[in-house]
């Protein structure tokens, strides 16, 4: 059985380069016709995957990424180098061709807002549509057969992402689950939300290796609360262990941080305990000092339905669980203004 995961990123890059060279696939993806100059592979010492010159002389750079697996430090360095190059070459146009986990995590909003890279994102839909329209007869027979196999793999994987119960690759299935859950929350929030909010899919380095194997949903931007002259940031973060309410504390003395944390925790708990099951959390204020801010945990909410999402293979049950978890996330988000009002109203209870 052919699956896209059997194609390494390098193999896909080589295949796409052949397609870009012999067909108009690249121009279809960017909407910018190619000039006379040939397509360059791995330009800027591999910082991008492809480069070509548009018919109007404008340089076009394409970044290609299929997964978030890898050394996170190397990835951050690459992003910094790309940002530096882009700022020095503002006249060019930049595109990011994203598949698999990268397609889910690196939305266009995330790329431009968090990574601060002016790249236009290209995903499965546009790539599949363009591949279906190109003239494969321009390719040698062996290459044409490989492209047709690759196209089937792309289509099958995209269908799996749209229906995660069909996916058997655990990591990708987890990403797809979060993609659907995020979409469900955003759809509900557009109707019910009282403040601007996005949910980002993030990765977290494994504590014993450089690989990324923990993914979660994270609220952006944080919800701001003013207490006793200090501005703190509240945000929700969904992980396998439950739904966590985090607080971002500004630089402050440890004693003050402990008093603030205790005050916030009690008020948040009083707002949430009637709606949710509050779970146990570990102590989180170790190492807080007066010279740097720190994000710590306030509360953890138990979400058994979220755990069940990773187990079910029934499409109807899956859709039902996604809806239930999305409703719980919406409720948790809606309670942030309630928590802020109670914290600020009862700030007299804390003496810093």
My answer on whether 239 and 188 are in the same domain is yes
My answer on whether 321 and 291 are in the same domain is yes
pTM: 0.86
My answer on whether 275 and 308 are in the same domain is yes
My answer on whether 190 and 151 are in the same domain is no
Between vectors from CA 244 to CA 242 and to CA 246, what angle results, nearest 5°? 165
**CATH code for the domain in which residue 149 is found:** 3.40.1350
My answer on whether 234 and 340 are in the same domain is yes
Give the DSSP letter of residue 275.
T
My answer on whether 288 and 316 are in the same domain is yes
Does the N-terminal peptide bond of residue 62 adopt cis geometry, omega within 30 degrees of 0? no
Per-residue burial over 85-107, b = 16 or more CB atoms within 10 Å of its CB, e = otherwise: bbeeeeebbbbbbbbbbbbbbbb
My answer on whether 170 and 39 are in the same domain is no
pLDDT in tens, the chain (352 residues): 445 666 788 889 999 999 999 899 999 999 998 888 899 999 998 889 999 999 988 999 999 988 765 555 556 777 788 888 988 998 899 999 999 988 998 888 888 776 677 889 999 999 999 998 988 887 888 888 888 999 999 999 999 999 998 888 888 888 899 999 999 999 999 999 899 999 998 776 544 444 445 678 999 999 999 988 889 999 999 988 899 999 999 888 888 888 888 899 999 999 998 899 898 876 667 666 666 778 889 999 999 998 888 888 899 999 999 999 999 999 999 999 999 999 988 766 666 5
Between vectors from CA 301 to CA 300 and to CA 304, what angle results, nearest 5°? 130
My answer on whether 157 and 176 are in the same domain is no
How many domains is the chain built from?
2
Report how far Cα 41 is from the mean position of its chain's Cα atoms: 27
φ, ψ at 205 (rounded to 5°) = -60, 140
My answer on whether 274 and 314 are in the same domain is yes
My answer on whether 156 and 299 are in the same domain is no
> Which structural domain range is residue 261 located in?
166-349
My answer on whether 123 and 71 are in the same domain is yes
């Amino acid at each position: 059985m052919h699956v896209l995961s059997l194609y390494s990123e390098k193999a896909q890059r080589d295949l796409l380069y052949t397609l870009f060279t012999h067909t108009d696939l690249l121009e279809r993806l960017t909407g910018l016709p190619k000039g006379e100059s040939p397509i360059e592979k791995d330009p800027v010492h591999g910082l991008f995957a492809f480069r070509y010159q548009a018919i109007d002389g404008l340089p076009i750079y394409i970044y290609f990424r299929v997964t978030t697996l890898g050394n996170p430090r190397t990835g951050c360095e690459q992003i910094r180098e790309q940002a530096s190059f882009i700022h020095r070459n503002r006249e060019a146009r930049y595109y990011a061709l994203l598949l698999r986990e990268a397609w889910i995590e690196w939305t266009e909003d995330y790329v431009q807002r968090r990574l601060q890279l002016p790249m236009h994102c290209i995903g499965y839909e546009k790539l599949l549509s363009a591949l279906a329209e190109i003239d494969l007869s321009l390719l040698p027979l062996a290459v044409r057969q490989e492209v047709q196999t690759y196209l089937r793999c792309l289509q099958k994987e995209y269908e799996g992402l749209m229906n995660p119960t069909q996916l058997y690759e655990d990591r990708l299935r987890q990403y797809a689950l979060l993609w659907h859950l995020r979409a469900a929350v955003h759809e509900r929030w557009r109707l019910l939300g009282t403040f601007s909010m996005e949910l980002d899919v993030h990765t977290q380095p494994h504590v014993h290796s450089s690989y990324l194997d923990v993914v979660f949903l994270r609220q952006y931007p944080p919800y701001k609360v003013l207490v006793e002259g200090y501005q703190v940031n509240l945000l929700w973060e969904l992980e396998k262990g439950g739904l966590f309410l985090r607080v971002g504390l500004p630089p402050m003395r440890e004693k003050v941080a402990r008093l603030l944390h205790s005050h916030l925790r009690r008020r948040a708990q009083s707002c949430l305990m009637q709606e949710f099951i509050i779970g146990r959390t570990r102590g989180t204020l170790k190492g807080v000092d007066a010279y740097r801010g720190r994000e710590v945990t306030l509360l953890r909410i138990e979400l058994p339905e979220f755990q069940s999402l990773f187990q079910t293979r029934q499409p109807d049950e899956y859709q039902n669980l996604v809806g239930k978890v999305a409703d719980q996330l919406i409720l948790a988000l809606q309670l942030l203004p309630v928590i802020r009002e109670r914290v600020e109203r009862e700030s007299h209870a804390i003496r810093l």
